[in-house]
Structure 1
Amino acid sequence: MIYHISIASGHVDMMVISLLQTVEKYDINLGRWSQMAPMLTPRSGAGCATVDHYIFACGGFDGTIHLSSVERYDSQINQWTNVTSMSVRRCYCGSAFIRGRIAVIGGYDGTSLLDTVEVYDSDKDEWTIESQMLTPRCDSGFACVAYRQ
């Protein structure tokens, strides 16, 4: 199945942003969308990455504050759980699975653009800041390519 996380959805009404915590999945065989368990925290601008049968939603904005919290969805039991929060609050960050870990890059902390690269080790349930990009950035795409010499 292909999963679609509707965490950046919402509407503007009288200058109030209402964020959703709903999640939907798309079955390519049936051509149909269906509801999944809702996220624990409504959030927009989260970086999302998949690892095995898990989906991680990292950071984001809950309508009031920028988040460092991270949720993990288990597709086998249709349940979200909180894992260790990132070191830095960030929304509009890029995230991807690389070398057995999740890397989250850049983003916005509510005051400034970020240049840090934070990496999650699921075996230790801990985040580590591993690097800095040359240029702070947010709202950027992030993809990994395997390269061997």
Structure 2
Amino acid sequence: MLRFAQLHVCLSLEKEARRVLLCHFHEVVREEEFQELGVEKVRSLLQEENLVEVLKEAVLVEGVVRWLAHDTLARRGHFQELLHSAHLDLKEEYLRTALELHRECLETDTEDIHSLFVQALKTAFNINKSPSEHCRRGRRLTSRMFVIGGYHWHPLSEVQTWDPVTDQWQQGEDMPDHTRESYGVTLLGSNIYISGGYRTDTTEALDTVWVYSSDTDKWTQGQPMLTARYYHCSVGLHGCVYVIGGYRGGAPMGETEFYDPLKRKWIPVANMVQGVGNATACVLRDTIYVAGGHYGYKGSCTYDKIQTYRADVNEWSITTTCPHPGTTTQLSYISPGSIELQRDKLCYI
């Protein structure tokens, strides 16, 4: 579609094609059409400002790796160049290791070796960069844990960051407009979205959104949601932020909407099968799973089903029944692609 729009100088179609491409970049890089692109086209895509903002480093690296794998002998000289185009950087020693693993990948043609190659690149990004090193746009290439807000006798505004490499905690910029509770928190690229919640003194549901940049340690006010809510679920999918269900005025709601950072607006989608609050959610293979929660006035009833949402068909359905329904149930996903229900805690394996 992008090629067609450019060939016929259709600017509106080209803009929409780029939006779709960026939102679904993790799927596009697996297509043969992407892998057959010339280096100039790939470089142009990787230099897109919105692509850098929306996607994680691992997705960008995978795109470069898959493109390189299509014709290694002819393309290996462009590897470092494309990493720089995506504003990513590798030390020479890790580049050599990655290329050696890639050579083995071609000889064996197994997915396991290819995954090993991608993992080697991820490791180089996440471990072998000091927290003070930045790329040209200031992207930190280390994994960090963020603790934002919360409640201890009163709403908290603090932002705390833990670096597993140095085992050090750092204080971030305080969250603005923090006198609220039960808001949603979602990571999308290098940004953390804080959505909704309610006022501590009035229990008024809020539609406000604040965005924290982990690169710059700065807060900015985002676009307000279409529907105010609290005790809702919030997840990232296809480069967008989804907010799901929750409460408003003491009543559960099934409304779902997502924020598209490329269009800079919220878009409503299908309602849940059963509106719930106090549920938990995760994403697995392009599908959103919402487990349990409560419905009825002020959450008087416990819901024992797992609801799933497929964005490609804009449809909710019921997948199964929770063995332990309730607000303490949590969802987590386990490689190579299964979901685990936990009680009282959320574990990543």
TM-score by length of 1: 0.90
Matches of 1:31 and 1:9 in 2, distance apart?
25
Deviates more, 1:63-72 or 1:90-99: 63-72
Q: CA deviation at 1:89?
A: 1.3
Partner of 2:200: 11
Alignment of 1:1-149 (within 5 A): 1-13=190-202, 17-110=203-296, 111-138=300-327, 140-147=329-336
Matches of 1:139 and 1:85 in 2, distance apart?
24
**For each residue in 1:10-67, what CA deviation from the matched residue of structure 2 results, as whole angstroms up to 9, or x when unmatched?**
2224xxx112111111112211000110001110011111112111111000124210
TM-score by length of 2: 0.40
Instruction: Could you tell me which runs of 5 or more consecutive residues in structure 2 were left unpaired when the two chains were aligned.
Output: 1-189, 338-349
What is the RMSD of the two structures over their aligned residues, measured on CA atoms?
1.5
Instruction: Could you tell me which runs of 5 or more consecutive residues in structure 1 were left unpaired when the two chains were aligned.
Output: none
Query: How many matched pairs?
Result: 145
Matches of 1:73 and 1:6 in 2, distance apart?
11
Q: What letter matches 1:128 in structure 2?
A: S
Matches of 2:195 and 2:315 in 1, distance apart?
26
- Report sequence identity in percent: 24
Matches of 2:309 and 2:208 in 1, distance apart?
24
Q: Which has the higher helix share?
A: 2
Q: From the superposition, tell whether residues 55 and 79 of structure 1 become closer, same or farther in structure 2 (CA, over 3 Å).
A: same
Conserved 8 A contact 1:95-1:142: yes
Runs of 4+ in 1 over 4 A off after TM superposition: none
Conserved 8 A contact 1:92-1:140: no
Q: What letter matches 2:199 in structure 1?
A: G
Higher relative contact order (CA 8 A, sep 6+): 1
Q: CA deviation at 1:135?
A: 1.8
Matches of 2:307 and 2:336 in 1, distance apart?
21
For the pair shown, which has the larger CA radius of gyration, 1 or 2? 2
Q: What letter matches 1:83 in structure 2?
A: V
Matches of 2:329 and 2:219 in 1, distance apart?
27
Q: From the superposition, tell whether residues 66 and 94 of structure 1 become closer, same or farther in structure 2 (CA, over 3 Å).
A: same
**For each residue in 1:60-86, what CA deviation from the matched residue of structure 2 results, as whole angstroms up to 9, or x when unmatched?**
001242101101111112211110000
